Amino acid sequence: MPLVPKVMSTQHPDNATPAPFADDEGVLKGEGEVEEAVDVFALGCDEQMWDSEGKEADNQVVRKLLIGHPEFFQDDNRLGRDMALTLRVPNPRIELDMRKSMVEALQSVPAAWDVARSFYGELAEAPIQEVILPFTTSSEELALIEAYYRDVIVGQENRPILSDHTVKDWIGEFYPKRIRVIPLIEDSDHLLACDRIVEEYLHGRDEPYQRVFLARSDPALNYGMVGAELILKVGLLRLHRLEQRLGLPLYPIIGAGSVPFRGHLTPVNVERAFTEYPSAQTFTVQSAFKYDYDKATVRDGIASILAHERGEPLQIDEDRALDLIERTTEEYQSQVQRLTELIARVSSHVPKRRERKMHVGLFGYGRSLGGVGGVTLPRAIGFASSLYSIGVPPELLGLGALSEDDLSFVRENYPSFDGDLRASLRFANERHVRELMGYDYLRLLVRFTEELDRVHEGLTSATFASLSQGYSSGEITHYIQESAHLRRFLG
């Protein structure tokens, strides 16, 4: 059976501390990302996402890894057998200006196999075996990716050239013959229908298993922290029922970041992920996890995830959960709309940690993906960073819709709720919460007042004041960076 990884290193730029491979301005790009891949494999990660969506990805990455680090990728570190490189490609249905980047990424797969065969010999495994499709909303989108690779990229090998040659005669056979497609599902309607999408895709296919990537950041951006958690609980339960019905392993991937708002997965907090998502097979290790802690701590956190065995999902009253998702989402989105202008002003000063193309969160894609029409927000990391930088943790947004009875249900089905809230409120600014969110939220702060980080509070006051007093962008960015270092995440 092929490798089914447990720790997926990603290129999400949520780190406060610049990566060791970044440029002088703290931005990681190009050759630095190739070096990063070697480093995270050495730390114990058994998968590296290689992102062609929203950034310029190096399609020669396999060549550069194997030729540049031949000693490392030997013995128990064989690429394709012991560790995976997994492509994330643009979704042609949504990301129209990046559609051809998907083609370029898929065309690199057979070339990567040629490099691996030259490096390892005839018994080489394909170094790239799977691709991730973001914004998945249907089984047809997955089937199109699979069919394009099989029929167009591999299928061209038998196409005649001139009178007596084929493509295969000229440049060799194409391997692997097929590629597996992982749906990355990011909006509420389709996360709740993830079982239907997967079942339709698997119909008539003879697969040993299927991986399913459930987003955690963009659901929080669109529906708030509580909504995101409850959506994932329902989705995971429905996937489990499908797995039992089909008798086929379904391996969920959870895309969690370090900030509580985005999943609260850090090297010192991995048990939280096991408590909330016990049926998940794979967890993402994002940049803050890797660079805002010392290497020994990071290595220990990764080892804990590798040692974890998946179990059954948490049971949940789906009707009650759906009602709470709807009510907290309405409250959350209403509050976000009132803060949009302020968030945009702060986000323009958030430091870049990776070179990326322009890409907005789901709010910017309109109603069809569950966002609010006409409202454009930064991506989830910039959004969370902006609010933390002024001392208004995004975890608070939407909680005003919950009654005491609702809170009991949330605590029962989201066991880490109080811990996540406590961790976020440590970095709150009491005055800003009062002014921007209303008096009712102070009742949540009262329980945690003694735990507030007063240095962080001072930095958020300086950031907020600087926005209105005409300070230079560099000074505001400095305050944002200093507060991020205290939190051990940018956003």
More confident residue, 24 or 184: 184
How many CB atoms lie under 10 A from the CB of residue 132? Answer: 25
Report pLDDT for 58.
84
For residue 48, report the phi and psi dihedrals to the nearest 5 degrees: -125, 120
Asked if residue 215 has pLDDT above 60, the reply is yes
Q: Distance between CA 100 and CA 86 in Å, rounded? A: 18
| 304-350 pLDDT, tens digit each | 999 999 999 999 999 999 999 999 999 999 999 999 999 999 999 99
More confident residue, 85 or 363: 85
Q: Distance between CA 50 and CA 132 in Å, rounded? A: 10
- Helix (H/G/I), strand (E/B), else coil: 269: coil
Which uninterrupted H or E stretch holds 483?
A: helix 473-487
| 255-264 pLDDT, tens digit each | 999 999 999 9
Which uninterrupted H or E stretch holds 481?
A: helix 473-487
Ordered by where they begin, the domains of the chain are 7-307 (3.20.20.60), 318-487 (no CATH)
Give Dmax over CA atoms of the chain in angstroms: 81
Asked if residue 481 has pLDDT above 80, the reply is yes
Could you write out the DSSP letters of every residue in 299-318? Answer: HHHHHHHHH----PPPP--H
End-to-end CA distance of the chain: 37
- What separation in angstroms does the CA of 460 have from each of 28, 412, 426, 466? 26, 33, 12, 10
Nearest CA-CA partner of 389 in 322, 484, 478, 475: 484
Name the pLDDT band for 468 (thresholds 50, 70, 90).
Answer: confident
Dihedral (CA of 162, 164, 168, 170) sign: negative
Q: What percent of the chain has pLDDT over 70?
A: 93
Report pLDDT for 366.
34
Q: Distance between CA 253 and CA 102 in Å, rounded? A: 21
Nearest CA-CA partner of 49 in 208, 213, 197, 172: 213
Q: Distance between CA 167 and CA 144 in Å, rounded? A: 23
- What separation in angstroms does the CA of 479 have from each of 12, 98, 475, 476? 22, 35, 7, 5
Cβ atoms 174, 110 nearer than 8 A: yes
| 424-455 pLDDT, tens digit each | 999 999 899 989 987 566 566 656 767 889 99
- What separation in angstroms does the CA of 283 have from each of 260, 278, 356, 362? 15, 11, 23, 22
How many CB atoms lie under 10 A from the CB of residue 473? Answer: 10
pTM above 0.85, yes or no: yes
Q: Distance between CA 137 and CA 369 in Å, rounded? A: 9
